[in-house]
Structure 1
Amino acid sequence: MNSKQLQYFLATVENGSITAAARAIDVAQPAISLQLANLEHELKLKLFERDFRGVHLTDAGKKFEYHANIILTQINQAKADLVGNEHECSGKVVVGLSQSICNVLSVDLLTELEHRFANIEIDFRIGPSNVINNCFAENELDIILGYELDEQLENAADTLALIRENLYLYISQKPQNPAYYELTLYGSMPFVDLQHYETFAPNKEDALYKLLNKQAKQAGIKLKTKSAFGQLMTTLHYVMQGVGLIVAPSSSAFHLEKQNLVRAIDIVDPPIQRDVYLSMAEDKKHNAAVKVVYELIRELTANVHDNKDWRGELLDQKYAHPSRNNIEALVAS
């Protein structure tokens, strides 16, 4: 479910027919019909009765109209929280983040800025967590997405826990190494079993390396690791070719999963997760452009989490999407 579907639904209700709604909001009629059909399919509810005079709400549709109005109002209010507008908000914003977070957020962030805040320029500084943290400490960054809530983040402006991301063992759909063949049968594996497989690992100062080795120490095992290639996509290329494994969040490989090039194996007993924090520099908390980018990151994180591209627990609920199950419960109430 998305805001476009809700908009088309309410426009159809207001205008009494899909044809009239298409004219009112200047959208092609087939596009509205398709979105409404998708909405009814997702909800598994019939929202409209259709006849030669137009459309009429079913009982479920009448209940859903009430909640759709509330949801759209909340979405619009959330967007209104973004400071300024495209005509009066401008400037350059420097954002520090890891390669995996950049992979899942950068395109959407650049697209939204182009459409909504064209006068804001964004500069991504991408690197290992320890390097990004040092850049933030040296006041070289306006915003940081980091993994360790250390003293500098705690003292930064508006620090919040954004998402608790899940970590997975990624394997090629067609492994070439015989040692990986048995992994093709696994949907999940206990953390201690990682000790039997060599995996690519970041440098020893990186937050992910520290997390995995801390967990290994607690479990009484030693992990077999080999150095990654610096660039995430180079390392993932080796994984895709079936000659390597990597422990990583879904943000790093969601696009490869969709192309059926790699597969994620759940790590359990215990599951491995880490919190991602969003912070802005203290001296930038009154900068309108920085605040806009900060809020857009929160909004887009909720979007990619809802799309299952960045999997885990969404900790920042400001822009969280109502789930289909929640909507079904509301309509049934």
Structure 2
Amino acid sequence: MNTKQLEYFLATAEQGSISGAAKILDVAQPAISLQLANLEHELKIKLFERNFRGVALTTAGEQFEEHARLILNQIDKAKLEIIGQQTQCKGKVVVGLSQSICNVLSFQLQTELEHRFPNVELAFRVGPSYKVENWFADQKIDIALCYNAELNKNAATTLPLLSEKLYLYISPRPKNPSYSELSLYGSIPFESLQDYELFMPDRRDALPMLLAAEADNLGIKLKTRNAFGQLMTTLHYISQGFGLAIYPSSATCHLETSKQIRAIKIIQPELKRDVYLRLSDHQRKNAAVAAVFELIRETTANAHADNSWRGTLLDTKYRHPSVVNIDSAVVG
């Protein structure tokens, strides 16, 4: 049973004929006849008596008419409530996030927001992780995607979003001779990274802090050079074959798809870091902020499902039923 069948049924009952219903609905008579036949077959009752004048409701048809009107009225009421919520949901929402996360989420997030909540204005404030944390602490942003679960823990809603995997990235055609052997690797032990110079963002950022801690655990020292200020500039330099860097797939998904850059899996240990979605306490009851918060959760699940953002999805509310693991494909 569907709403189209109910609409055709009620129109036919009101007009007293299929031809009359077809006229007001602007639908071909055979289409209405087919839907009514399907409805009667599903209900296993006869809804209309046919005669030379048209149709008339049976006793069962009259009883069903009341239910059909009630069902359609409830559907219309639900639509009006949802549309009303979208109309009332308005205002500006500022989201703070890193360049890599912005790369994988911003387009779909903006597109979905414009479609579902056209009166909500979304602004991205993009920067290194320590700046995102400062903006959040100073209430300069409403929502933060960050790597620190403890920042103002009692003053915000904190949701573990995703444990993202980190990879060593290299050009498929490296121009630096020292990368020739590396270009054939599918995986590399973390300890072996000390033999190569790596682009590294500001040491206050979450990524170099994680790598430095892991290097200390293994008693090694990584050779680093300053990354360019913009993520895309650094990645362009790497794609041309002149450097190496460690990033999550969120930073590189567009370049991996076009085969401009290649991921090498880091092992012994495998590197991961948790991403948290944080909602400022003073914005907890703001409908627009709440809408964006939920859309970020949904968009993250979508990015994880299509392997743009690889790792373990910690927030499973919008998880897709099955996600293909293509690690072997991207590192092989």
**TM-score (ref. length: structure 2):** 0.72
* Residue identity matched to 1:186: Y
CA distance in 1, matches of 2:110, 2:216: 40
1:25-40 aligned at under 5 Å gives the runs: none
Match of 2:255 in 1: 256
CA distance in 1, matches of 2:120, 2:89: 7
CA displacement 1:242-268 (0-9 Å, x = unmatched)? 001110000000110000000000000
Match of 2:286 in 1: 287
Per-residue deviation, 1:150: 2.2
Match of 1:106 in 2: 106
CA 83–170 in structure 1, closer or farther in 2 if over 3 Å, else same: farther
- Could you say what secondary structure the match of 1:86 adopts? helix
Match of 1:97 in 2: 97
CA distance in 2, matches of 1:162, 1:83: 29
RMSD: 1.6
Q: Is the counterpart of residue 296 in structure 1 residue 311 in structure 2?
A: no
Q: Is the counterpart of residue 136 in structure 1 residue 136 in structure 2?
A: yes
1:159-308 aligned at under 5 Å gives the runs: 159-308=158-307
Match of 1:79 in 2: none
Indicate conservation of the 8 Å contact 2:148/2:276, yes or no.
yes
CA distance in 1, matches of 2:182, 2:283: 48
* Residue identity matched to 1:87: T
- Could you say what secondary structure the match of 1:85 adopts? helix
Indicate conservation of the 8 Å contact 1:169/1:266, yes or no.
yes
CA distance in 2, matches of 1:215, 1:148: 17
* Residue identity matched to 2:224: T
Per-residue deviation, 1:85: 3.4
CA 132–108 in structure 1, closer or farther in 2 if over 3 Å, else same: same
Indicate conservation of the 8 Å contact 1:172/1:242, yes or no.
yes
Structure 2 residues without counterparts, runs of 5 or longer = 5-81, 325-332
1:118-129 aligned at under 5 Å gives the runs: 118-129=118-129
CA 157–237 in structure 1, closer or farther in 2 if over 3 Å, else same: same
Higher relative contact order, chain-length normalized (CA < 8 Å, sep 6+): 1
CA distance in 2, matches of 1:156, 1:204: 27
Indicate conservation of the 8 Å contact 2:149/2:158, yes or no.
no
Of stretches 316-325 and 259-268 in structure 1, the one that deviates more from structure 2 is 316-325
CA distance in 2, matches of 1:83, 1:279: 27
Indicate conservation of the 8 Å contact 1:83/1:288, yes or no.
no
- Could you say what secondary structure the match of 2:86 adopts? coil
Per-residue deviation, 1:236: 0.3
1:36-55 aligned at under 5 Å gives the runs: none
Per-residue deviation, 1:84: 6.9
Structure 1 residues without counterparts, runs of 5 or longer = 1-10, 12-81, 326-333
CA distance in 1, matches of 2:83, 2:236: 40
CA distance in 2, matches of 1:156, 1:250: 31
* Residue identity matched to 1:142: D
- Could you say what secondary structure the match of 1:133 adopts? helix
- Could you say what secondary structure the match of 1:141 adopts? coil
* Residue identity matched to 2:92: K
- Larger CA Rg, structure 1 vs 2: 2
Indicate conservation of the 8 Å contact 1:145/1:277, yes or no.
yes
Identity rate, percent: 57
- Could you say what secondary structure the match of 1:254 adopts? helix
- Could you say what secondary structure the match of 1:122 adopts? strand
1:73-84 aligned at under 5 Å gives the runs: none
Per-residue deviation, 1:324: 6.6
Per-residue deviation, 1:279: 0.6
CA displacement 1:113-143 (0-9 Å, x = unmatched)? 1111111001100000011111111110100
